[in-house]
């Protein structure tokens, strides 16, 4: 059973009670991420996320770590381009302790200078790690080509220079400006009584965000002409990412979009995987994916391939895109794709954290509960002609943006989208 309560200060609390479970998954979602930054504070949201675990007025960093361990289950946090989330899954009997701990982290974190300096080194190593992993780094490089002067084109972690200059005052100013009650959704799924859960948060958060200012509007992401860039690096393999602007999280065509991506390169029976890896053995890793935000998004294709096979692979990708634009997807292929997507959804509903994430994201992006039955019905109504229309809309607008990382030279790349 789903329930929702909005506290007097604007914090929204949503729960899905599943009494057969013995655990409860809790997530504190703040609708703040790296797109809510500028050139001089890029990486702030991620740095703040780290610092929330590094000491409060009531607990040291070591105490916080020990308490999470004693609670058992799992606990973590993450930052995306639009959200920050603290989450944990515990036995239902430990729920009051978990809520009190989360409330302390969000309301009383100290941002002490010595802890900031320690965590700065951790984040700098995290940045180095990503830059040393080309199959990860290529995604940041690609976003920078899509949105070169917009926060969505910046990395979530920030740059070495900006992170090195972060201090307590800057981080606390960021929290005061963006961590406001209107941006917070608290979600729980599992063995949880909604009214009791709300009461726990009222005690810890009744004054939170009362002095917050008006909601800060995000800058609209522009649609720019396609671009391409080669980042030459002495690697064994060439890493390619190509794609174009797609749909937002809330777009009316989001279900067609999801199915289109799976057909193109979203699973092992997808066209790109079968054509490039299984039939020809050109690449170990080939897939497509969608990255959607509140008002925009993109669809991209990743390829890790030997330098000598780049152009052949790109030609095959272009051919598969052209087929999607000009030929209706066969009924059997579409049915198999729908079954794949729906099976994944049903399986995820066995996981309390997945359920918690679903209801939180629905509240953040749609402002309401969306049942799994409603989603399944929308997927079932998608037709082959719908996929054809959307493929032409997405891929027919312009050439694809292209990023290449590895032992490559621009003159040697033959790409025609």
In a domain, 39, yes or no: yes
pLDDT at residue 72, rounded to an integer: 84
49 and 185 both lie in a single domain: yes
CATH number of the domain to which 327 belongs = 3.30.830.10
Same domain flag for 188 and 258: no
29 lies in some domain: yes
Instruction: Tell me the CB-side half-sphere exposure of residue 9, using CA atoms within 13 A.
Output: 20
Q: Is there a domain that residue 417 lies in?
A: no
Task: Give a yes or no: residue 197 inside a domain.
Answer: yes
Same-domain pairing of 241 and 187 = no
Asked if residue 240 and residue 150 are part of one domain, the reply reads no
Q: Is residue 211 part of a domain?
A: no
Q: Does residue 213 sit within a domain?
A: no
**Residues sharing a CB contact under 8 Å with residue 377, sequence separation 6 or more, in sequence order:** none
| Same structural domain, 97 and 232 | no
Do 280 and 403 belong to one domain? yes
In angstroms, the CA 394 to CA 401 distance is 13
pLDDT tens profile 222-256:
999 999 999 999 999 999 999 999 999 999 999 99
139, 173, 205 - which closes a domain: 205
Examine residue 214 and state whether it is found in any structural domain, yes or no: no
pLDDT tens digit string along 246-283?
Answer: 999 999 999 999 999 999 999 999 999 999 999 999 99
Q: What per-residue confidence (pLDDT) applies to 409? A: 85
Can you say whether residue 57 is alpha, beta or left, with left for phi > 0 and alpha for psi between -120 and 50 degrees? alpha
The answer on 285 and 154 residing in a single domain is: no
Catalytic residue among 49, 256, 353, 363: 49
Instruction: Please confirm, yes or no, whether 332 is among the known catalytic residues.
Output: no
Q: Is 222 domain-assigned?
A: no
Which domain covers residue 302, as residue numbers? 228-412
Place of tokens 């152009």: 311
User: For the chain, what is the domain count?
Assistant: 2
Shared domain check, 25 and 140: yes
pLDDT tens digits, the chain, 417 residues: what are they?
Answer: 999 999 988 999 999 999 889 999 999 999 999 999 999 999 999 999 999 999 999 999 999 999 999 998 889 999 999 999 999 999 999 999 999 999 999 999 999 999 999 999 999 999 999 999 999 999 999 999 999 999 999 999 999 999 999 999 999 999 999 999 999 999 999 999 999 999 999 876 766 665 556 667 899 999 999 999 999 999 999 999 999 999 999 999 999 999 999 999 999 999 999 999 999 999 999 999 999 999 999 999 999 999 999 999 999 999 999 999 999 999 999 999 999 999 999 999 999 999 999 999 999 999 999 999 999 999 999 999 999 999 999 999 889 999 999 999 876 787 654
Assess whether 194 and 235 both reside in one domain: no
The verdict on 56 and 170 lying in the same domain is: yes
Residues 270 and 337 in one domain: yes
Q: Do residues 32 and 181 share a domain?
A: yes
């Amino acid at each position: 059973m789903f329930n929702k309560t909005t506290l007097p200060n604007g914090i929204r609390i949503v729960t899905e009670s599943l009494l057969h479970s013995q655990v409860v998954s809790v997530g504190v979602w703040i609708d703040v991420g790296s797109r809510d930054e500028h050139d001089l504070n890029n990486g702030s949201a991620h740095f703040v996320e780290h610092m929330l675990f590094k000491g409060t007025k009531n607990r040291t960093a070591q105490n916080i770590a020990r308490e999470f361990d004693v609670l058992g289950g799992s606990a973590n946090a993450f930052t995306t381009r639009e959200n920050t989330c603290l989450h944990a899954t515990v036995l239902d009997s430990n729920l009051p302790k978990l809520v009190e701990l989360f409330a302390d982290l969000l309301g009383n974190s100290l941002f002490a200078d010595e802890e900031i300096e320690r965590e700065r080194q951790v984040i700098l190593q995290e940045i180095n790690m990503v830059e040393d992993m080309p199959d990860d780094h290529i995604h940041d490089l690609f976003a920078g080509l899509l949105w070169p002067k917009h926060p969505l084109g910046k990395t979530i972690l920030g740059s070495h220079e900006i992170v090195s200059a972060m201090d307590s005052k800057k981080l606390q100013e960021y929290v005061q400006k963006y961590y406001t009650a209107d941006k917070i959704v608290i979600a729980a799924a599992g063995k949880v009584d909604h009214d009791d859960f709300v009461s726990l948060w009222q005690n810890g958060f009744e004054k939170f965000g009362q002095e917050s200012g008006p909601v800060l509007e995000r800058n609209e992401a522009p649609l720019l002409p396609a671009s391409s860039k080669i980042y030459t690096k002495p690697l064994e393999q060439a890493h390619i990412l190509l794609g174009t602007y797609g749909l937002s999280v809330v777009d009316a065509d989001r279900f067609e979009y999801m199915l289109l991506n799976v057909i193109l390169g979203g699973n092992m029976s997808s066209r790109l995987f079968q054509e490039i890896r299984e039939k020809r053995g050109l690449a170990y890793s080939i897939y497509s994916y969608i990255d959607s935000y509140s008002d925009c998004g993109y669809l991209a294709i990743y390829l890790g391939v030997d330098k000598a096979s780049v152009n052949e692979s790109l030609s095959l990708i272009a051919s598969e895109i052209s087929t999607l634009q000009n030929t209706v997807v066969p009924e059997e292929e579409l049915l198999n794709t729908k079954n794949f997507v729906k099976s994944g959804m049903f399986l995820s509903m066995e996981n309390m954290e997945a359920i918690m994430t679903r209801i939180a994201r629905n509240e953040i992006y749609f402002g309401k509960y969306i049942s799994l039955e409603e989603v399944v019905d929308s997927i079932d109504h998608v037709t082959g002609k719908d996929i054809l229309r959307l493929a032409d809309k997405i891929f027919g607008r312009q050439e694809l943006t292209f990023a290449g990382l590895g032992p490559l030279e621009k003159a040697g790349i033959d790409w025609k989208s």
